[in-house]
Amino acid sequence: MYQDNRQLAIRGVIAGIFTLTAIVGFALYRQSNTYAPVHSNTTTANPVITDPEILQNWLPDTVYQYTVARISDYLVANNLYASSLSARDRIVNGSGAYDFAVTLLPQNQTLDVSVSVNNLQGIMSTAVTIDGTLQQQLIQTVTNDGTSTGSSTTYTGLDGLIEHGITTTEISELQSLLQKYAPASTSIDISPNTIQASYDQDTGTMSYTFVVTINTSQYVAVFDAISTTQARLRIRDATTSQQLYDSGTVTVPAAP
Amino acid sequence: MLLNIGIGIAALLCAWSVFLYLAGYGTATIGMLPARAVVRVNGNLTTAKTLRLRPGTYTLLVTSPLTDPYQSTFHVSVLAATRINPSLQRRSPDAIASSVVGGIGPTEPVALQHAQWFDGDTWVVGFTLPANAPLALHYDTTQGKWSVAYSTAAGYPSDKTKLPAEISNYITQLETTYVPG
């Protein structure tokens, strides 16, 4: 009797181990998808745009940034938070404006956005209407040579990167890419104690990894300065390590 | 007896899940991409032409300065190879002009009329309403950017002599045919 019970218990344990391994294996399988949809586990008023190129196909860069900033403002003003934001369908070259819709995920809520661009003698101004409400009065945003006329973001901690050998041209590119990720940001703080620099001789890439706080949210950023002519910025959620942004490789403008 | 069957099923499930974890991939190969194409799979940027993917349905987005955004979904099965040939269309002249100049005058979206392509699609020339003003846009293959090469609007280059002859000729033709006065 005792022997039977013992064998039964052993078999039960074996079945349990197999079952547990199957469950863990399957869970790991589901989790290990490199190309899982881009999203953050946390919702924010500054969600990552999963397909920015759809909008950038029609909108000049600074108009795009201004539009994203107004969408972010709208989310804050209406207590709407999302993990990601996606352009829906294509831009319609409407009457007096570029019309398109964006979808907030995961709630699948749609915002109708209209962007009016006023170009007078090469100087562009932008007005953004969301769900029929003008978000802000026309303001000057950029001249046709690409010079921005207004930036309200305060940067701190850039000195730490300079101490690690980053050039001023690369700093400008880093700021530009951070601004692209978070155009509505009011403060961007790089934590000097977290900066780690490494050099890859094969590719000529200097990589700077650091913790960056954008407004109140903390992220881990990796900035690659590639052969002094190209750069790439990747941003991860500091808590979940989920990748939120990848600029791709961009060309760094030559120093004046 | 039942427990033995349970052990057998659990062992099979275990083997299957380990197999899935280690080898549960399919491949998707993306062909025919233009220079400077940006490829996103489920929103993730990738530079790989052949992707090793878990089974499932994925969204593909291909954009480039010379083509309209291409968006589609594709399915990948375990151990199966999928080939995707995006049917990329030449980028809309309206979109190119809009992304460069934003607007015409006060809040008028850009529409390029009688647009004509030149020099391997690196030039597009037409005229914009309502003033029927010629606009020439040039794609710099080094920078990967479009810019205004000729426009009669203030603030933009307006010297036709600096343009290639065929571009200059077409602008003259547009001005003769469509520009009033």
Q: Output the 3-class SS for chain A.
A: CHHHHHHHHHHHHHHHHHHHHHHHHHHHHHHCCCCCCCCCCCCECCCEECCHHHHHCCCCHHHHHHHHHHHHHHHHHCCCCECEEEEEEEEEECCCCEEEEEEEECCCEEEEEEEEEEEECCEEEEEEEECCEECCCCEEEEECCCCECCCCCEEECHHHHHHCCCCHHHHHHHHHHHHHHCCCCCEEEECHHHCEEEEECCCCEEEEEEEEEECCEEEEEEEEEECCCEEEEEEEECCCCCEEEECCCEECCCCC
Nearest CA-CA partner of B170 in B115, B100, B96:
B115
What span, in angstroms and rounded, lies between the C-alpha atoms of B115 and A229?
Answer: 34
pTM, whole model, 2 decimals? Answer: 0.69
Inter-chain contact A15–B6, Cβ cutoff 8 Å? yes
Distance of CA B147 to the CA centre of its chain: 17
pLDDT at A97: 79
Across B13-91, the runs of DSSP E, i.e. the strands, are 26-30, 38-41, 44-46, 50-53, 56-64, 67-76, 81-84
Which residue stretches of chain B are H helix?
A: 2-23, 93-101, 165-178
What span, in angstroms and rounded, lies between the C-alpha atoms of A177 and A187?
Answer: 14
B126 DSSP β-pair partners: B135
Q: What is the ipTM of this complex?
A: 0.83
- Measured distance between the N- and C-terminal CA atoms of chain A, rounded to whole angstroms: 90
Inter-chain contact B94–A124, Cβ cutoff 8 Å? no
Inter-chain contact B155–A144, Cβ cutoff 8 Å? yes
Inter-chain contact B91–A57, Cβ cutoff 8 Å? yes
pLDDT of A121 > 80? The answer is no
Average pLDDT score, chain A: 80
Question: In sequence order, what are the residues at sequence separation of 6 or more whose Cβ sits closer than 8 angstroms to the Cβ of residue A1?
Answer: none
Q: Tell whether A172 is within 8 A of chain B (Cβ).
A: no
pLDDT at B61: 92
Which two structure tokens, joined as six digits, stand for B4? 């033995």
Which two structure tokens, joined as six digits, stand for A54? 């759809």
Which two structure tokens, joined as six digits, stand for A35? 């190309």
Confidence of residue A211 (pLDDT cuts 50, 70, 90): very high
Those of residues 36-75 in A touching chain B at CB distance below 8 A are 36-39, 50-51, 53-54, 56-60, 63
What span, in angstroms and rounded, lies between the C-alpha atoms of B102 and B135?
Answer: 13
A96: nearest CA in chain B? B108
Give kind and range of the element (H or E) at residue B136. Answer: strand B133-140
Of the given ranges (A136-140, A230-234, B102-106), which has the lowest mean pLDDT? Answer: A136-140
- Residue found under tokens 């951070």: A178
Q: Tell whether B3 is within 8 A of chain A (Cβ).
A: yes
Q: What is the pLDDT of residues A91-101, one digit of tens each?
A: 776 666 788 88
Q: Which CATH superfamily is domain B24-89 in?
A: Immunoglobulins (2.60.40.10)
- Domain spans of chain B, in order of start: 24-89, 93-178
pLDDT of A149 > 70? The answer is no
Q: Given B38, B63, B94, which is nearest A93 (Cβ)?
A: B94
Q: Which residues of B touch A32 (CB under 8 A)?
A: 21, 54
A7: nearest CA in chain B? B3
Inter-chain contact B107–A34, Cβ cutoff 8 Å? no
pLDDT at A89: 63
Those of residues 35-74 in B touching chain A at CB distance below 8 A are 38, 40-46, 51-54, 56, 58, 61, 63, 68-69, 71
Q: Tell whether B18 is within 8 A of chain A (Cβ).
A: yes
Q: Collect the ranges in chain B with pLDDT lower than 70.
A: 105-107, 179-181
Helix axes A2-31, B2-23, angle to 10 degrees: 20
Q: Tell whether A13 is within 8 A of chain B (Cβ).
A: no
Q: Which stretch, A23-32, A109-118, B133-142, has highest mean pLDDT?
A: B133-142
Those of residues 78-117 in B touching chain A at CB distance below 8 A are 91, 94-95, 98-111
pLDDT at B77: 92
A114 DSSP β-pair partners: A99, A129
A45 DSSP β-pair partners: none
What span, in angstroms and rounded, lies between the C-alpha atoms of A139 and A44?
Answer: 26
Inter-chain contact A53–B58, Cβ cutoff 8 Å? no
Q: What's the gap in Å between the CA of B150 and the closest CA on chain A?
A: 12
3-class SS of residue B44: strand
pLDDT at A127: 82
